[in-house]
């Protein structure tokens, strides 16, 4: 009884430690978004370059971490690996002490800097998020991620139990995917050019590509790759690499669109960008629960994979829904803050004289 109580207590402590660790990572992520928004200074080109730099740094760090982790596990053991991972956030904290940024207050509501509270910031963020120009793309992002059932867990059990893939092979693939994501990010930066490419068309064609790529798992479940003489290891490795690279390419217009829309709302850029990313993550979580419900309905949770092709085909069909909404909910382009201000100034300068007089005398 005492051992069970100690195990339960240590389990709660571990869960709380992991919760605080993820919370600190989320806070740091929001701060990075705020720094990117501030450093860009309203420049679209600089903002896109900073976003690409941050993501590429993440991929390089992930690849290095995977390579070091494979060696550290055999040399340092489990306690040593956890100790090394706990030192990394401390390095980030020390590096943050070198940042020298003056506090800049952007007042958009007439409230003085001394009287602005958290409630004022929340109110500004809610007002910006309720703007149809922001709210409609947010709804599309949620629908796009939540409408297709997530079948990653059942697919993992299928390749490990049914196909016999080893954890070492899957771990090596996971390490290699960091490099693939970096290549996909660089390829996407060459294909999608913010300010010139259409968000609407790129996301629509991206949805078509995602549907085609989702059928690759269906080919594996139907064993069509074996019929064509391609082994499971080769097919899974190549298809996952292509799907990962394509996913990174298709992520760039979303990041660019989120950055452009948040830049139009000065004073809450970081919070609004974090809202975009939170909705994106929430949609994936909703898709996972939706996938669990589909698996339960088809009986896939019992270790039987006969209905897996049906679930995969249903997922591909569900992905058709966002295609019908892309041209309705995603803008073709987004006017920058600078161009919006310039257009407003030009429109005011071109007002007829009698309208100018009316605005003066009527106070409108």
Q: For 244-264, write each residue's pLDDT tens digit.
A: 888 888 888 888 888 888 877
Alpha carbon 85 to its chain's center = 23
Give a three-class secondary structure readout of 321-361. Answer: HHHHHHHHHCCCCCCCHHHHHHHHHHHHHCCCHHHHHHHHH
Can you state the percent helix, strand and coil of the chain, rounding each to 5?
80, 0, 20
Cβ neighbours of 174 (radius 10 Å)? 12
pLDDT of residue 116: 58
Per-residue pLDDT, 10: 74
CA triple 335-338-339, angle to 5 deg: 45
pLDDT at 114: 45
CA atoms within 13 A on the CB side of 199: 25
Task: Round to whole Å and give the CA distance between 361 and 347.
Answer: 19
- Report in angstroms the alpha-carbon separations of 282 from 13, 33, 58: 26, 18, 21
Q: What is the pLDDT along the chain (364 residues), one digit of tens a residue?
A: 566 666 566 778 878 887 887 787 777 777 777 677 666 655 666 766 777 787 788 888 887 877 777 677 778 777 887 787 778 778 878 888 887 766 655 555 544 444 557 777 788 888 888 889 899 999 999 999 999 999 988 998 898 888 888 877 887 888 888 888 888 888 887 888 777 788 999 999 999 999 999 999 999 999 999 999 999 999 999 999 999 888 888 888 888 888 888 877 777 777 788 888 889 989 999 999 999 999 999 988 767 888 999 999 999 999 999 999 999 999 988 866 554 444 444 433 343 333 333 322 233 3
How far is residue 178's CA from residue 23's CA, in Å, rounded to a whole number?
23
Secondary structure letter of residue 150 according to DSSP: P
Question: pTM of whole model > 0.95?
Answer: no
């Amino acid at each position: 009884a005492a051992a069970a109580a100690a195990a339960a207590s240590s389990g709660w402590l571990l869960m709380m430690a992991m919760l605080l660790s993820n919370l600190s990572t989320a806070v740091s992520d929001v701060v990075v978004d705020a720094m990117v928004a501030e450093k860009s200074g309203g420049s679209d080109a600089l903002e896109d370059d900073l976003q690409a730099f941050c993501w590429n740094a993440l991929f390089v760090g992930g690849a290095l971490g995977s390579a070091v982790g494979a060696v550290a596990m055999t040399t340092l053991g489990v306690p040593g690996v956890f100790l090394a991972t706990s030192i990394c956030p401390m390095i980030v904290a020390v590096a943050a002490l070198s940042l020298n940024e003056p506090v800049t207050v952007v007042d958009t509501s007439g409230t003085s800097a001394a009287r602005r509270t958290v409630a004022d910031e929340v109110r500004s963020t809610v007002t910006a998020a309720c703007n149809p120009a922001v709210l409609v793309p947010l709804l599309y992002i949620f629908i796009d991620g939540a409408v297709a059932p997530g079948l990653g867990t059942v697919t993992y059990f299928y390749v490990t139990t049914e196909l016999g893939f080893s954890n070492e092979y899957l771990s090596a693939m996971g390490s290699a995917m960091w490099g693939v994501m970096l290549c996909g990010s660089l390829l996407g930066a060459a294909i999608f050019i913010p300010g010139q490419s259409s968000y609407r068309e790129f996301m629509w064609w991206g949805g078509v590509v995602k549907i085609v790529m989702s059928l690759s798992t269906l080919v594996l479940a139907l064993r069509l790759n074996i019929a064509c003489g391609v082994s499971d290891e080769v097919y899974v490795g190549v298809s996952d690499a292509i799907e990962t690279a394509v996913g990174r390419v298709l992520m760039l217009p979303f990041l660019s669109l989120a950055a452009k829309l948040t830049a139009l709302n000065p004073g809450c850029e970081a919070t609004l960008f974090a809202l975009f990313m939170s909705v994106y993550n929430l949609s994936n979580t909703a898709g996972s629960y939706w996938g669990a419900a589909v698996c339960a309905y088809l009986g896939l949770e019992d270790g039987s994979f006969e209905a897996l092709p049906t679930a995969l085909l249903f997922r591909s069909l569900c992905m058709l829904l966002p295609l019908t909404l892309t041209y309705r909910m995603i803008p073709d382009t987004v006017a920058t803050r600078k161009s919006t201000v310039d257009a407003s100034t030009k429109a005011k300068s071109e007002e007829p004289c009698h309208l100018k007089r009316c605005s003066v005398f009527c106070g409108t």
